[in-house]
Chains A and B, each alone.
Chain A
Amino acid sequence: MSTVHVRNVKKSYSDLTVIEDLSFDIHDGEFMVFVGPSGCGKSTLLRMIAGLESFQGGEVAIGERVVNGVPARDRNIAMVFQDYALYPHMTIRDNMSFGLKMRKTPTAEIERRVAAAAEILQIGHLLDRKPRALSGGQRQRVAMGRAIVREPDVFLFDEPLSNLDAKLRVEVRTEIKRLHARLGATMIYVTHDQVEAMTMADRIVVLKGGAVEQIGTPQELYREPRTRFVAGFIGSPGMNFAPARIEGDVATLVTGDRVPVRRLSSGTRAVQGEIGIRPEHVQLADPHGPGVETLVDVVEPLGADTLVAVRLGEAQLMVRLPGEIIPAEGDRLRLSFTPGATMAFDAQGLRI
């Protein structure tokens, strides 16, 4: 178990900047998730911590030890790869023992750890098989088992669920969480799936274009996104945006509707920007209260809820309505926003 510190780390290939000046700390025993769209640098960041990839500036420390220049083999980390990277010519037992053998761990100790990990993951009956005889889900477990036996300072996961089918993915997600609770180890997990990030993480680092957009707990990212990107990325569906002129605590939409917004900072100067509202914070308006007129575009009944895409002037909003309300295409809906849930963003996409 260990802390991890990333300080002013930079990386670029020739003239392409991949990671620009990143700093953050991961606490001991924390489950940290790096999330972002493909190409945001999340895997590169993980691989830099692993010692698989070099970088140009700054430092990475595991515990108190700065590991710049320390090869992966000497970092005492374990990694679960996207394609599992099991050694095809070795049995499952040998796959799990290999890292310990390379570190000259006594045989009895290796056997004890392999048996213990196999027990936790329920793969005891597979130990003498080769990887090709295993299903995708079983291989995934072996890959985790190989990491567990190492008892590393830090566990690294590089999109480990992306090769599993949807149902299995949910199961293994729970299992990894349980494993984290049981081992109490520091874990860093990379994914492009915000649902995985929200359900598993203690804290999340949202990355975009090689830079940190925001770091926080899932609740913080959901409730107080600091940028338009985070607001749109987190949540399913993500936050809706509509262009507006924001003046004080009131936003004027293109349609002329005036909506109260909850601002982070008080400002009186009028700003051309956008308002943001989550689908679940929109409801049918009280006939006598305030509301905006919208036109129904597409209706997706999901059972418990109904997702409705509506048009508000030029802007398109996704709205989550109770399952029993199923409007028809072309209907006019009068909608209101939950008080205090409407946010404001400036033209640069920063929350104001």
Chain B
Amino acid sequence: MTQLALVIDLNVCVGCHACVTSCKQWNTSGWAGPMVDENPYDANPTGTFFNRVQTYEVGSFPSTETVHFPKSCLHCEDPPCVPVCPTGASYKREDNGVVLVDYDKCIGCKYCSWACPYGVRELDEQQKVMKKCTLCIDRITDHTLPEAERKPACVIACPTNARLYGDVHDPDSEVSVAIRERGGYALMPEWGTNPANHYLPRQKTHMHVTEEDLQRSDNPLTKEDITVYQGEETMEDVTW
């Protein structure tokens, strides 16, 4: 069975929020739209977003890491939000594992959001139905789009290519390889939700300079006579 998912590379995410707004603009006019904004030009502007980029500081000065952390629905393999839905509005697609909400069936009871430990479901406060990341279901299943564009909007937009997309059940897919080789991990593994989305950790490149590196025979200083001569008496100055 196919399980489509995102693998998010924290090693290169610079926290630019491209995924946040590219998602918003695609989906507000798409199958999952609208994505309503409340008080768009007033105090306390808020609205529905399927995707948020958060920032964490790890460690204390001067050994501080600033970690940008994009978060959207993780499309769990065992999504706790689905069985609790009383109407069947929340469901997991059998063909590709994407977790979706059918707004026409949703009664806005919010129980699914209680049953999600990740806080990725957001109630549309105007339409009063639950909304969430669809992995751009209307892009990835649209066969009229060219193959290269059959990806979630956030993946296409991401300037650092920090969002890999593919089938985590296919061991040869880019995402599976990344998870395997780069230490991909799931969020809150303690709940057994088996999130399909994974995260790739920060990696550090170090450089080690040895004493030998600094003492070499081809040092260009050896080509210079570093003593500075200036105004010294020369043979010609000497009166015999």
B and A form one assembly: no
A residues contacting B by CB (< 8 A) are none
